[in-house]
Structure 1
Amino acid sequence: MPTAETTSQSGVLRELGGLLHTGRYRHLMGVRLTGQACDGIFQAGLASLFFFSPERQATPAGVAFAAAVLLLPFTVVGPWAGVLLDRTSRRSVLGYGNLLRGGLALVAAGVLFAGAGDVAVGVLALAVLSVNRALLAGLSAALPHVVAPERFVLANSVTPTAGTVAAGAGAVAAVGVTAVVGPGGGADVAALLVAAIGYVVAGGLALLFPRELLGPPPGSAVTSARGFRASVADVVAGVAHLRDRLPAAGALGLIAWHRWSFGLTTVAMVVLCRTTLADVDDPAAGLAALGLLLGAVAAGSGAAAVLAPWGARRGRVHAWIRVCLLVAGAAQVAIGLTQSPVALAVAAGFLGLGGQGAKIGVDTVVQRTVDDAFRGRVFTAYDLVFNVSYCLACAAAVVLVPADGRLGWVAVVLGVGYGVCALTQGRGRARVAD
């Protein structure tokens, strides 16, 4: 006789089938998967170039500086991207934004092939990744226009998590090719070229949507008379809207902690793979070790997509977030205390599971509590929290990450922080979002 648990899981599978039969949802998913797979390829090519080329040694300060610089541009322009998403056709933003970064990636590949210095490639990479962050906010803001409200949890499980897995798969594929061919040279140029082509495909897919389908509401278009002061007023209104939605504001606080912890751990992992898990004179082996850890994080994120529709169904969202935070905290401690590559990969997988699972819950809370007219600005604020937290983690990594990449007691403190976040999650007024 079927149990209540089995019945619940069968219901989730039926809902998933219904979601995947929604043509507009599949269309938006195609835009996300194509773009994020290319993000993984592009970023892996940059990592190979800057951290795993034979003539370079990765230090905590060097890795932290590079990671922070890559995110700083969006930290500056993020609020204005939110205004764009709430005042301009999101379909156009997603379409032309992807085409723009495809062109920039193509130029970056040409510059690298021509033998230009790191500065030129780095500037182009900054531009590509800055556009990328705005597009991710746009995808989140557009999702409620292709999914029914009762399927928000399921869509937030499948969509961004599948994007994360796609990015991880792209990175692993690029890392694998580079490990075989050898870092630098043709492998890095090829990675950037493939990413450029994929971005153009993603842009073309986005432009196939009807212009107004993804929002914002009719009548929100910016007129030529709107100036700088009006844009400032829009940003202030978006922040005020978030302030008045305590569940969304509290959920973003949890994401801030996760991104800070994950940023610190990412810097440590790059240094660990380059200097400790492999011979410093064998950058290809270090890159392969990093690929293993990236693959483990991607696998954990994929598991979160499978489990979240059951664990975070309506009435249990906050409980699901708490469990995910505890899983991430335990994995974080394990990362600091183990030196085995296999154990590190397992811990990285659980960190991906806990982090992505918590994000699925947070996405759902924000979408349920924020008005559509402000959704682009709020999700851009969400992305801004991602980047600022990560940048602050990179600054802290200069002091907290040792030269061999082993976090030790720092990882224990990070794990305790996850536990504190879990204990405070969903208390008081925040529970109304369940």
Structure 2
Amino acid sequence: MKEEGDDEMVQERIEGANRLALERILNAQPTLIGIGTAGEVIPGMTKKTILHAGPPISWERMRGPLRGAVMGGLIYEGLAKDEKEAVELAASGEIVFAPCHHHDAVGPMAGVVTASMPVWIVRNMVQGNQAYCTFNEGLGKVLRYGAYGEEVIARLRWMEKVLAPVLKAALELSGPINLKNMIAQAIMMGDEGHNRNKGGTSLLIRELAPHIVAADFCNKEKIDVLQFMHGNDHFFLNLTMPACKASLEAAKGIPYSTIVYTMARNGTEFGIRVSGLGGRWFTAPAEVIDGLYFPGYSAADANPDIGDSAITETCGIGGFAMAAAPAIVQFVGGTPEDAMNYSKMMYEITEGENNAYKIPVLNFRGTATGIDIRKVVETGILPIINTGIAHKEPGVGQIGAGLVRPPMKCFEDALEAFVADLEEKGLL
């Protein structure tokens, strides 16, 4: 039976748990330690495992860009020779589909990871957990946006055979790279860590270039690698994502915590996971993105929100740090004033401020960090996410970029489940 004083005790437990969750996120030290092959380093991977972005989903419920990326992944792995064979195999039940998040990984947009793909290995040096992410292909017709043509597969093979080996050798010469420091510097340079990564990519090139030059590869391979990185401003995104994943996983499973440690989308559903509720997903239909479209495309062509890259916002950067990156509005829409207001608004739904990722224009205030489901529901303010837009049909690719918010139902359902758990324990 509930006794007098229980309400205060429960409140104290929640507040204490949320302080602990925030402390673990802020104390994390995500560090790039290596490069490996997905099938060899990601837990639970097999030749017929395909990881995808967002909460769990079956082939039947996948939409265009995720289907396209799966088809491309099967062709890339040599499990199918063309689109027809890939569709048949994907629908056969032989392929194991699983969220990247269930395997300590994250994937931008469609998020597809297959066994032969090279991945970054990022370790949280405080908690010891690791996170993994594929390499960024660039913009346009790329696998992560659902494109799977010959040029897409050829690029993936070059990344596996040339890009990854050269960078692996360079990283072995350089030693581990502190990504937390690098992200903090990038934010000072006008990045927000999700859709603007010019500073981060530049810092990474600066760090690795001398070691790429010193690596034991022919000059053409080294030049090609440097040119590829130089020509891809989004290259660093695939390091901010596992850095955020490694930081947030430290906050998983804290009893009584209402802090969100995962936000992710599979193109059909948006899903969140909450620290005190373990690995349970709370999902709702994904929203269509409000943004800027490439010539010839409109919202009628857009797939709903997709990708694991919202892990950046979950960790307090990305859309939460747009005030540090006013130039981002030229890519996702809005005005510099909008960017400022979005960042300020996020303080109303979070537990605290990041002591490393600071926004100069807000007098070096730390970014809002630690999304609290209670505050989201109470205020009606939803997290802001900036993101790319994929065409709704497989094989087309990116058609724009913009802003989106999660469905409120995810947070309402999570809060209801949290209250139900307290009631089951006799605390309410």
Q: TM-score, normalised by structure 2?
A: 0.30
More helix by share: 1
